[in-house]
């Protein structure tokens, strides 16, 4: 039990208030089953959801949709309310990230970061296994449950 706690524990790190990013939670419903689209991080190769800085002059959700297009090559209907939030370390700073559900309408064969990332559709069980960040797993589980009701 202690090992489980320590694996998910991180020391408190102060961060600059207002340091926010937005990300997309790309999903689709196929034969009544929810699937999530994951991408690999450029730096570590870990499976994540697309995210990035909020572009000047854009809403957080529009920036999230832009990141999904650039990083995963998908477009669709973006929600204006986040499914959840998590903290991420970016260039030595702790950043708060809001994840906006994106119901994918189109997957493009080519996209900006296709040579830098992999993308993969996964059911919830596989999504749980692929994501290292437990906060991302909790957001995916919560959103999946919301869609099921």
Domains of the chain (ranges; CATH) run 20-148 (3.90.79.10)
**Phi first, then psi: what are they for 115, rounded to 5°?**
-85, -5
27: its two tokens:
């999903």
| pLDDT at residue number 67 | 98
Regarding predicted confidence, which is higher, 15 or 106?
106
pLDDT at position 14, please? 47
Compute the distance between CA of residue 46 and CA of residue 28 in angstroms, rounded to an integer. 22
User: How does the average pLDDT of the chain come out, rounded?
Assistant: 90
Helix residue ranges per DSSP H, the chain: 2-8, 60-72, 124-130, 134-148
C-alpha separations of 109 from 41, 112, 114 in Å: 19, 11, 9
Strand-pair partners of 90: 93
Span 14-35, average pLDDT = 85
Q: In the chain, what percentage of residues exceed pLDDT 90? A: 81
2-6, 19-23, 89-93: segment of lowest average pLDDT:
2-6
- The residues, any chain, with a CB within 8 Å of residue 84's CB and separated by 6 or more, are 98, 99, 135, 138, 139, 142, 143
Instruction: Encode pLDDT of 37-86 as tens digits.
Output: 999 999 999 999 999 999 999 999 999 999 999 999 999 999 999 999 99
pTM for the model: 0.86
Work out the burial of residue 57: count CB atoms within 10 Å of its CB; fewer than 13 is exposed, 13-18 middle, 19 or more buried.
exposed
pLDDT category at 115 given cuts 50, 70, 90 is: very high
Taking residues 109-134, report their average pLDDT: 97
Q: Please report which confidence band the pLDDT of residue 133 belongs to, taking 50, 70 and 90 as the band edges.
A: very high
């Amino acid at each position: 039990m202690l090992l489980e706690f320590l694996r998910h524990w991180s020391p408190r790190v102060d961060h600059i208030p207002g340091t926010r990013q937005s990300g997309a939670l790309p999903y689709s419903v196929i034969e009544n089953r929810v699937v999530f689209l994951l991408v690999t991080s450029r730096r570590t190769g870990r499976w994540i959801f697309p995210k990035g800085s909020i572009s000047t002059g854009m809403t957080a959700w529009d920036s999230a949709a832009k990141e999904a297009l650039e990083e995963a090559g998908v477009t669709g209907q973006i929600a204006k309310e986040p499914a959840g939030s998590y903290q991420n370390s970016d260039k030595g700073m702790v950043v708060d990230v809001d994840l906006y559900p994106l119901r994918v309408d189109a997957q493009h064969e080519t996209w900006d970061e296709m040579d830098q990332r992999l993308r993969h559709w996964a059911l919830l069980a596989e999504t749980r296994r692929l994501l290292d960040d437990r906060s991302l797993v909790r957001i995916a589980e919560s959103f999946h449950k919301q869609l099921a009701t």
